């Protein structure tokens, strides 16, 4: 009671101008995330400014900005201090730790997070602690949450593809505090026992087994696990496609929507019961008891999801709303939202690296905007319309597409899931252990309900999807314009808001001018993919590898890059030969973009493809394309690789696939025009290619290696790299520098490494 009384005195003063202070704190946190490296410890001296800034109320926003910056700096420095030493990468090490997650199924085994307590190399303890993400491929053992394990592993520091428009895997790992990834060596899996750690994950794992036994192989089983437990590892590619194309993927992530619905239902239930409590209602008001019950229910539901990052944010937001009720403040107010924002950033300033952070707060803010002033738009369809339009700029920025039917689909999908499927699933999960038959019946009803919804979503997935890549700065006026358009009736000049949308709709990303050629060597790991653009045409040379049934370079790197560049179709696709590391992403590319012409050195494997042959050529906007090899059809393997030369008045590019020394010798003896400004080095820098005669014949100024980080082949071979350097070439490697962007224009030639352009302090060197 004393604390409650103190809270009543403190909260009003704390909430005063909380909106400005929270936004200032947010800007400080975001400012740190834009830095390529962390500033020195001298920034700690900025604390000396706090008394000065606090003294004048007009300067307090600056105080909160500085506080946000320093808070994020301290947390980031703590995370980076637990990084894996580079000397231990790819080395056999032994780790001892506790399973800290709900293990996920993969196409080849299991994946889980281990909280490392000890790491040794050759019997010596190493200075490393923290969380690592491991895969098991050979061992049939299934890790259990809370188990104490001793594992022989190979690790590497967080590293992912670095391409324009691509997913920042390193930021994703950093946000989740994971400081290394790797795999368990064959025969290196040993259980030391069980612990009391991670009881929530133990409960989730037990419930997952019970749900699997109850639902069996029903197609809705994976969807139910995602909705109730937050485990999306069993969702198939086809299911993800339906969710993305209908704009309902957010329903499969336990986030603010689900936690809010559960809290709302619990609020109503506790309020209903407490009103019948008699004297208790006189001592403790119904709203405060109901708010406490709602918070408990939200905590329980978030626990089922393993307190994942999205549920942590949602839980803090529910907690802020509950505090508002306890202290007599309006629940649906901008002050409450600002308090939730401040709480989320205090809990984890790295949350701003997630798209979910921005989408969840933008959605909550748009709901408040829709409900402000008792507008007619406060009806369900009006609120949903506000949310859909308000999130449009952010959706296009993060994902480069917007399903045109998302508004209508979500009108019925959200209440169907939130008021039907989720309550049935939660009741079934709660009862399946003590009362198996009742729990199974409830889960079955939830699955049946979800199956009906899924039939509707599958049909809606055929509706058009708007793919668009806005110029980043246009999103700010677009967001302001949407708020202006949706302002209350009587707001002057609401139509003018539409003018602020015009830059986002009509401004296109930069593209080559007539006579220019842009070439991008994408970072696709151990493989190859090149995009060549002229003023009105696009050529793709190879599509990178396929790593697993659900993951390939076409989906992860090539298509996102093309979307960001505003490319709507591929004029020519060249598949140099049939190796997986060159053609693994083809199916994903064909599924998402129209392709005009297909050419391949392995036309027997690709029957729809025309063969590439020396002498074939064409010209696009003054840029000449010509095949130099092969000299005949019917070849197989690396020796079938298409060698493509691209000529511009200022220089040439040479793309060589995986040709070996014999094929290089044929090109040299035939007197082919080899000398080029830029060479994409044959076979990723293998010693079986790049013969001295070929290197001298090409005499490149820039030698580009497309390789995977710490790949098992050891590409590029140091001897080959040195050979190009002796020839006077400047060497680039996608494994270390990300995508290589080149522009051949009338003004000259430019080459940049994307990892350096987009570097943030969490990226590996």
713-744 per-position pLDDT tens digit: 999 999 999 999 999 999 999 999 999 999 99
- Inform me whether the pLDDT recorded for 260 exceeds 90: no
Q: Is 511 helix (H, G, I), strand (E, B) or coil?
A: coil
Distance between CA atoms of 371 and 479, rounded to whole angstroms?
18
Per-chain mean pLDDT for the chain: 87
Tell which residue, 409, 424, 419, has the closest CA to residue 455.
Answer: 409
Give pLDDT, residue 3: 29
CA-CA distances (angstroms) from residue 574 to 138, 640, 667? 36, 12, 20
- Inform me whether the pLDDT recorded for 47 exceeds 80: no
- Greater confidence, 309 or 63? 63
Give pLDDT, residue 6: 31
Taking residues 148-165, what's their average pLDDT? 96
Q: What is the pLDDT of residues 187-237, one digit of tens each?
A: 899 999 999 999 888 988 888 888 888 888 888 898 998 888 878 888 888
Taking residues 673-687, what's their average pLDDT? 97
Taking residues 301-312, what's their average pLDDT? 74
Taking residues 320-337, what's their average pLDDT? 74
Give pLDDT, residue 58: 66
Distance between CA atoms of 7 and 144, rounded to whole angstroms?
42
Give the residue ranges of DSSP H helices in 136-255.
169-175, 199-215, 221-229, 237-246
Angle subtended by helix axes 199-215 and 436-460, to nearest 10: 80
Taking residues 597-621, what's their average pLDDT? 91
- Greater confidence, 337 or 281? 337
- Inform me whether the pLDDT recorded for 625 exceeds 70: yes
Tell which residue, 714, 756, 702, 734, has the closest CA to residue 544.
Answer: 734
User: 241: pLDDT confidence band, cut at 50, 70 and 90?
Assistant: confident
Q: Residue 104 gets which letter from DSSP? A: E
Give pLDDT, residue 288: 82
Q: What is the pLDDT of residues 510-564, one digit of tens each?
A: 999 999 999 999 999 999 999 999 999 999 999 999 998 889 999 999 999 999 9
- Greater confidence, 139 or 418? 418
Token pair, residue 715, equals 């590409």
- Inform me whether the pLDDT recorded for 380 exceeds 90: no
Give the residue ranges of DSSP H helices in 353-405.
355-371, 380-399
Give phi and psi for 751, each to the nearest 5: -140, 135
Q: Is 562 helix (H, G, I), strand (E, B) or coil?
A: helix
User: 332: pLDDT confidence band, cut at 50, 70 and 90?
Assistant: low
- Greater confidence, 51 or 473? 473
pTM above 0.85, yes or no: yes
Residue at token pair 């358009």: 485
Percent of the chain past pLDDT 90, that is, above it, reads: 50
User: 382: pLDDT confidence band, cut at 50, 70 and 90?
Assistant: low
Give pLDDT, residue 133: 97
Tell which residue, 142, 149, 88, has the closest CA to residue 118.
Answer: 149
Q: What is the pLDDT of residues 637-656, one digit of tens each?
A: 999 999 999 999 999 999 99
Q: Is 324 helix (H, G, I), strand (E, B) or coil?
A: helix
Taking residues 685-709, what's their average pLDDT? 97
User: 467: pLDDT confidence band, cut at 50, 70 and 90?
Assistant: confident
Give the residue ranges of DSSP H helices in 145-220.
169-175, 199-215
In order of their start, the domains of the chain are 2-80 (no CATH), 88-197 (2.40.50), 221-387+406-467 (no CATH), 517-757 (3.60.15.10)
């Amino acid at each position: 009671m004393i604390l409650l009384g103190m809270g009543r005195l403190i909260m009003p003063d704390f909430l005063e101008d909380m909106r400005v202070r929270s936004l200032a704190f947010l800007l400080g946190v975001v400012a740190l995330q834009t830095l390529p490296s962390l500033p020195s410890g001298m920034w700690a001296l900025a604390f000396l400014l706090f008394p000065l800034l606090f003294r004048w109320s007009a300067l307090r926003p600056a105080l909160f900005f500085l506080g946000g910056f320093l808070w994020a700096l301290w947390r980031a420095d703590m995370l980076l201090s637990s990084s894996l030493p580079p000397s231990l990468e790819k080395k056999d090490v032994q780790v001892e730790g506790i399973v800290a997650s709900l293990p996920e199924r993969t196409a080849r085994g299991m994946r889980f997070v281990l909280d490392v307590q000890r790491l040794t190399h050759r019997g010596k303890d190493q200075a490393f602690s923290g969380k690592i993400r491991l895969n098991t491929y050979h061992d049939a053992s299934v890790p259990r949450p809370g188990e104490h394990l001793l594992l022989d592993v190979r690790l590497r520091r967080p590293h992912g593809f670095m391409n324009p428009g691509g997913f920042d895997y390193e930021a994703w790992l950093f946000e989740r505090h994971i400081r290394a990834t790797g795999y368990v060596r064959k025969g290196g899996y040993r259980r030391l026992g069980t612990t009391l750690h991670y009881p929530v994950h133990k409960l989730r794992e037990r419930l997952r087994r019970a749900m699997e036994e109850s639902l069996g192989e029903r197609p809705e089983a994976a969807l139910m696990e995602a909705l109730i437990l937050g485990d999306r590892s069993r969702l198939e590619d086809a299911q993800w496609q339906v969710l993305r194309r209908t704009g309902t993927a957010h329903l499969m992530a336990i986030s603010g929507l689900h936690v809010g619905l559960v809290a709302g239902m619990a609020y109503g239930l506790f309020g209903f019961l407490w009103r019948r409590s008699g004297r208790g209602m006189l001592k403790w008001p119904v709203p405060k008891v109901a708010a406490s019950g709602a918070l408990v229910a939200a905590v329980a539901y978030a626990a089922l999801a393993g307190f994942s990052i999205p549920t942590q944010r949602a839980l803090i937001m529910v907690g802020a709303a509950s505090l508002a009720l306890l202290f007599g403040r309006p629940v649906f107010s901008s002050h409450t939202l600002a308090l939730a924002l401040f709480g989320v950033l205090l809990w984890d300033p790295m949350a701003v690296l997630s798209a979910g952070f921005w989408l969840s707060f933008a959605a909550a803010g748009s709901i408040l905007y829709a409900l402000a002033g008792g507008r007619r738009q406060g009806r369900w369809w009006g609120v949903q319309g506000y949310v859909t339009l308000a999130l449009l700029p952010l959706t296009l920025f993060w994902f480069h597409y917007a399903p045109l039917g998302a508004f209508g689909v979500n009108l019925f999908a959200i209440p169907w899931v939130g008021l039907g499927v989720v309550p049935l699933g939660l009741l079934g999960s709660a009862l399946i252990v003590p009362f198996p038959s009742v729990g199974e019946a409830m889960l079955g009803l939830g699955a049946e309900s979800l199956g009906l919804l899924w039939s509707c979503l599958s049909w809606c997935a055929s509706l058009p999807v708007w793919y668009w890549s806005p110029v980043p700065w246009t999103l700010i006026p677009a967001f302001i314009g949407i708020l202006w358009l949706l302002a209350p009736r009587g707001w002057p000049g609401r139509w003018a808001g539409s003018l602020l949308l015009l830059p986002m709709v009509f401004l296109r990303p930069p593209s080559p001018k007539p006579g220019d050629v842009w070439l991008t060597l994408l970072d696709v790991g151990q493989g190859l993919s090149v995009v060549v653009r002229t003023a009105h045409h696009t050529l793709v040379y190879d599509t990178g590898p396929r790593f697993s049934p659900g993951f390939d370079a076409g989906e992860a790197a090539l298509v996102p890059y093309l979307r960001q560049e505003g490319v709507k179709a591929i004029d020519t696709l060249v598949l140099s030969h049939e190796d997986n590391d060159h053609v693994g992403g083809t199916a994903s590319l064909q599924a998402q973009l129209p392709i005009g012409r297909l050419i391949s050195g392995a036309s027997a494997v690709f029957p729809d493809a025309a063969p590439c042959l020396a002498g074939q050529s064409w010209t696009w906007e003054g840029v000449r394309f010509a095949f130099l090899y092969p000299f005949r059809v019917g070849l197989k393997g690396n020796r079938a690789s298409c060698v493509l030369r691209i000529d511009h008045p200022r220089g040439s590019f040479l793309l060589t696939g995986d040709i070996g020394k014999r094929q290089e010798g044929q090109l040299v003896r035939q007197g082919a025009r080899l000398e080029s400004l830029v060479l994409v080095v044959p076979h990723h820098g293998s010693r079986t290619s790049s013969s001295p005669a070929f290197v001298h014949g090409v005499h490149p100024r820039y030698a580009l290696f497309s390789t995977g980080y710490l790949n098992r082949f050891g590409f590029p071979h140091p001897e080959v790299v040195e050979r190009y350097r002796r020839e006077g070439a400047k060497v680039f490697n996608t494994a270390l520098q990300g995508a290589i962007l080149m522009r051949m224009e009338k003004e000259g030639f430019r080459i940049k490494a994307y990892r350096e352009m987009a570097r943030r302090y969490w990226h590996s060197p």
